Amino acid sequence: MNDSTLQSIAPDLVPANYLSVANNARTNRDKQIRILLEKKLPGHGWDNATIEYFVNELALMDSNNFLNRCGVGEREGRVVCELVQRRHYNFAHGIGRSGNLTDAQPKAAGSTILNNLTNALILDLIREAGIGSCRKALLVPMATGMAVMLTLLALKAERPQSRYVLWSRIDQQSCFKSIQSSGLIPVVIDTVPVEERDDTVLGTDLGAFRDKITELGASNVCCVLSTTSCFAPRTCDNIIELAKLCQESDIPHVVNNAYGLQSTYLTHQLEQANKHGRVDAFIQSTDKNLLVPVGGAIVAAFDREIVEHVSKLYPGRASSSQSLDVLMTLLSLGKTGYKNLVVERKELHQNLLKRMIAIAEKFGESVISGRNPISIALTLKSFGSDQQMIGSMLHRRGVSGCRVVTGTEEKSIAGVKFKAWGSHRDLETVPYLTASAALGMSRKEIDGFIDKLDQVLDERRVKAQ
């Protein structure tokens, strides 16, 4: 309602003094919105009513919601199913224009604000999360793998000669596929054992990177692709040293920070890597870091240009559904809410680690964790060839996300063969399972998991004897 409409409400509908109190409350609410429009993440989360009020106001600024709309184009944001319209809060125009993913849309002022504001809040969040030097963030409505691919295509366009992506091996398909889909040639650098906190974990083979660059020629390398967050016993790549190497060699460096925003340890690595070397872009998923449905990723950088290049590369419009999810989530959490989630996760990780160590001691196994801040591995040496059975027993008991690695599987992806798939290097390894304490986990889930793990191992142990 316009101010004057509100003030014109007749006294036989409501007495003036009651209206005045309501108007004060309205002004109060607007103060929050003003702060937000200065592109600052709210300190404290908003209530649902205020979030929806703001989102609705934005939607009404789009032409598909104008009362006397008169559309003679081929794309007018018409939505025929009332349920669909409702769940999108009457947004229909998506984001961007054919020229650029971040271009303002003449038909959709509200969607334009939605998109720009969301990117601004994400930038604020990334800085708060520990990457204070970050300068630009772009939400893309596609999952991490596609976002990595798009970033590679943008780099390739700038280095048209280059053909190779040097990739510190991590056994997760979509990362590897993103290189192949981009038409570039993946060069796999196997991990090597490194010592972290009395554990032998798997990390970056810096020497092999250096050798490979020399071998291929720096100008033929499109970029180095490293990873932060990963399954133990894989640990965060040594991105600080890789960043130095890339700076020296004048090679772009892309970091797959898939679910790393939730860990202050990993964000610190990124900040330091940029300080001491070269990080062109780092990419993370919105579902894992911001607890929204799967489908979005954030391309972020310490320099505006690369992100703008990505946004210009994107051909055509895109869904604004992910922007809306992220905006509403950030408004509902505020800085405090997000920080609390991060702190809780850290505590739960400590708890999970402690209890997995106890399980390991009981069964004569060991835990491999190192500095991996999220994932923990538990060896299954003494369970014969029963590991997969352990996995499926846990699954049937309702445990999801527990990953069993036998260390002996082979996998071929698009013609490239990986030995010991799952273990991040070609050498055979002891079998193990992994469990993670990821953002949004509850203590109840840890309790349930440990109980069930204990039962299942007990049961298999008896069988094995």
Q: 425 labelled as ligand-binding?
A: no
Closest approach, Cβ 216 to a copy of itself, in A, equals 19
What is the Cα–Cα distance from 133 to 23, expressed in whole angstroms? 41
> Is the Cβ of residue 49 or residue 462 nearer to a copy of itself in the bound state?
49
| 337 neighbors 328 (Cβ within 8 angstroms) | no
Q: Work out how close the CB of 192 gets to a copy of itself at its nearest, in angstroms, rounded to a whole number.
A: 23
317 is in an annotated binding site: yes
Tell me: is residue 460 an annotated ligand-binding position. Answer: no
To a copy of itself, the closest distance from the beta carbon of 304 in angstroms equals 13
Give the integer Cα–Cα distance in Å for 128 and 150: 26
Instruction: Name the residue nearer to a copy of itself (CB basis): 105 or 406.
Output: 105
Q: At what angle do helices 206-216 and 239-249 cross, to 10 degrees?
A: 20
CA 434/CA 143 separation, integer angstroms:
23
Find out whether 111 is annotated in a ligand binding site. no
Does 105 appear as a known binding residue? Answer: yes
Omega of the bond leading into 11 within 30 degrees of 0 (cis): no
Nearer to a copy of itself, 375 or 429 (CB): 375
DSSP for residue 396: H
For the CB of residue 299, give the shortest distance to a copy of itself in the complex, in Å: 14
The answer to the question of whether 304 is labelled as a binding residue is no
**Closer CB to a copy of itself, 276 or 346, in the complex:** 346
Nearest approach, Cβ of residue 120 and a copy of itself (Å): 8
Place of tokens 């509850």: 442
What CA–CA distance (Å, rounded) separates 126 from 133?
9
The pair phi, psi for residue 265, each rounded to 5°, is: -65, -45
Closest CA to 297 of 63, 122, 40, 104: 122
Identify which of residues 156 and 335 has a Cβ nearer to a copy of itself in the complex. Answer: 156
Looking at beta carbons only, is 148 or 206 nearer to a copy of itself?
Answer: 148
SS3 state of residue 253? strand
Q: Is 169 annotated as a binding-site member?
A: no
Tell the smallest beta-carbon distance from residue 86 to a copy of itself (Å): 8
Rounded Cα–Cα distance for residues 57 and 62 (Å): 10
Per the annotation, binding residues are 75, 97-98, 105, 275, 317, 397
Per the annotation, binding residues for pyridoxal 5'-phosphate are 75
Per the annotation, binding residues for substrate are 97-98, 105, 317
